[in-house]
Amino acid sequence: MKILSERPSILVVEDDREISRFISSSLSAAGYLPYVAANLVDARKLFWEVRPELAILDLGMPDGDGKDWIAELRQRSDVPVLVLSARQSEKEKVACLDCGADDYLAKPFGVEEMLARVRTALRRAAMMSLRDHVYDVSGLRIDLAAGTVTLNGKLVKLTPIEYKLLMMLAQHPGKVITYRQLLTSVWGAEYLDETHYLRIHMGRLRAKLEAVPAEPRFLLTDPGIGYRIAAS
């Protein structure tokens, strides 16, 4: 049974007591209701008791790697996961996003930046449910249920590949979808190294949707990581 509260609940999975205390107090002061787990066993139990709106996770837990918990969680829940980690390599960040994390914040971090990431993740998670699975930003409207795309009221004709790419991005406004995730979903696991496929089709999508394709408003690139569709 979900624990009910007027304040958004956030599960903090962190084994360092000082850091977890800092995160919890910062979240409380900002109007959130934090719950803390010091290991992955407790995190698994507490998650389903609390049913939080967001999870904040340190990767280096005493009883396992946080990435394994993310992958496990993604089989049953779409709750946003914000990773906090001292591991700062691009490879590690991509690996976390591939597992299903929504964002990655390297330690050390400032409280304002952390709270900004929390607000963004919660806003992104609420966006689609509040709009009945319709992405509608600055004249671009993507109806996921109907499978239609319009720009300034005019129907946009897309190829099947373009359609699949756009729909996958539109399901997660503002979230970076890695090259690996896009290639696997649209073309299949055997195409993981064919990133030029993405560049070609994203270029064609931008030509159809962007006023200035070289300065995209909707379809944004996170170099070396993947693509995302603007959340606002």
Residue 31 and residue 44: Cα distance in Å, rounded? 24
> Any idea what the Cα angle at residue 227 is, between residues 92 and 139, rounded to 5°?
150
Question: Residue 131's pLDDT is what?
Answer: 53
With beta carbons less than 8 A apart as the criterion, state whether 98 and 72 touch: no
List the single range of 1-15, 164-178, 184-198 with lowest mean pLDDT: 1-15
Residue 4 covered by a domain: no
| Torsions phi, psi for 60 (to 5 deg) | -85, 80
Residues 116 and 16 in one domain: yes
Residues 110 and 175 in one domain: no
List the single range of 86-90, 150-154, 198-202 with lowest mean pLDDT: 86-90
Q: Is 30 helix (H, G, I), strand (E, B) or coil?
A: coil
Residues 70 and 148 in one domain: no
Amino acid, single-letter form, for residue 109: F
Q: Is the peptide bond before 108 cis (omega within 30 degrees of 0)?
A: yes
Whether 130 shows a pLDDT value over 50: the answer reads: no
Q: Whole-model pTM?
A: 0.73
Residue 167 covered by a domain: yes
Angle subtended by helix axes 66-74 and 90-99, to nearest 10: 30
Sheet of 226-229: strand order equals 177-178, 226-229, 219-222
Question: Which residue's structure tokens are 């709750």?
Answer: 79
Residue 2 covered by a domain: no
pLDDT band at 174; cut points 50, 70, 90 = confident
With beta carbons less than 8 A apart as the criterion, state whether 80 and 55 touch: yes
Domain containing 66 equals 9-128
Residue 101 and residue 54: Cα distance in Å, rounded? 11
Q: Is 65 helix (H, G, I), strand (E, B) or coil?
A: strand
Residues 93 and 107 in one domain: yes
Quote the number of domains for the chain.
2
Question: Residue 157's pLDDT is what?
Answer: 94
The mean pLDDT of 25-46, rounded to a whole number, is 96
The mean pLDDT of 165-193, rounded to a whole number, is 88
Amino acid, single-letter form, for residue 99: C
CATH number for the domain that contains residue 192: 1.10.10.10
